[in-house]
Amino acid sequence: MRREEALRLVKQQITEHRYQHTLGVMETSIMLAERFGADAGKAELAGIFHDYAKFRPKDEMKEIILTQNMNRDLLSYNSELWHAPVGAYLVQKEAGITDPEVLDAIKYHTSGRINMTLLDKCVFLADYIEPGRGFPGVDDVREIAKTDLDQAIIGALRKTIFFLMKKSQAVYPDTFYTYNDLILKKEKVQ
């Protein structure tokens, strides 16, 4: 699918503010893919579609999670997580994207997963560090992302986990598993 068509489809689904974020994620995904050796075309497509379901009604997302045999545990956690797996499903159904790597990068862009692919990592991190983001600590992660993709993701996960804990919110288990997976792999290398 060409960039213009993908952006047109996504723009119909999200707010103007989120569209600007999407453009930032798209460009950052491409940049990270080129820097670390992932497929830039797939990174572009996943970056464009990563928030496709962000503004779908919660009832619709819940129904899709239940009827499409997605992990029902999601329903016990913040609904902000739902749009990622639901988005992967809807992108396939409504936009005809069938590449499993692109769909997985969309599916795991909020939580991460054990054994993330290079494409997963690029889209996950791009969503966190795209130029429109301005929260405390994001510049530190951007700096690390210039040289070490995994370490930048560890930093992003650490900040996310601390942020959720500070707000007394539950942390989705896959986020902890992703963090632990990357930490343990780093320790093996050292």
**Using one digit for the tens of pLDDT, what is the confidence trace for 24-47?**
999 999 999 999 999 999 999 999
CA–CA dist 103, 121 (Å, integer): 13
Q: What is the pLDDT of residue 129?
A: 98
When pLDDT is averaged across residues 106-124 and rounded to a whole number, the result is 98
CATH 1.10.3210.10 is held by the domain 3-189: yes
- pLDDT tens for each residue of 76-94: 999 999 999 999 999 999 9
Is the Cα torsion angle 93, 99, 100, 105 positive or negative in sign? negative
Quote the longest CA-to-CA distance of the chain.
47
Q: What is the pLDDT of residue 157?
A: 98
Write out 23-41 in H/E/C secondary structure: HHHHHHHHHHHHHHCCCHH
Q: What is the pLDDT of residue 32?
A: 98
Q: What is the pLDDT of residue 189?
A: 77
When pLDDT is averaged across residues 9-28 and rounded to a whole number, the result is 98
Domain locations in the chain as residue ranges? 3-189
CA–CA dist 116, 123 (Å, integer): 11
Angle at Cα 125 formed by Cα 58 and Cα 26, nearest 5°?
A: 75
Q: What is the pLDDT of residue 113?
A: 98
- Per DSSP, helices labelled H in 37-117 are 40-49, 58-67, 83-95, 100-107
Which residue type is seen at 153? I
Residue 130 has pLDDT above 80, yes or no: yes
Q: What is the pLDDT of residue 188?
A: 85
CA–CA dist 121, 145 (Å, integer): 11
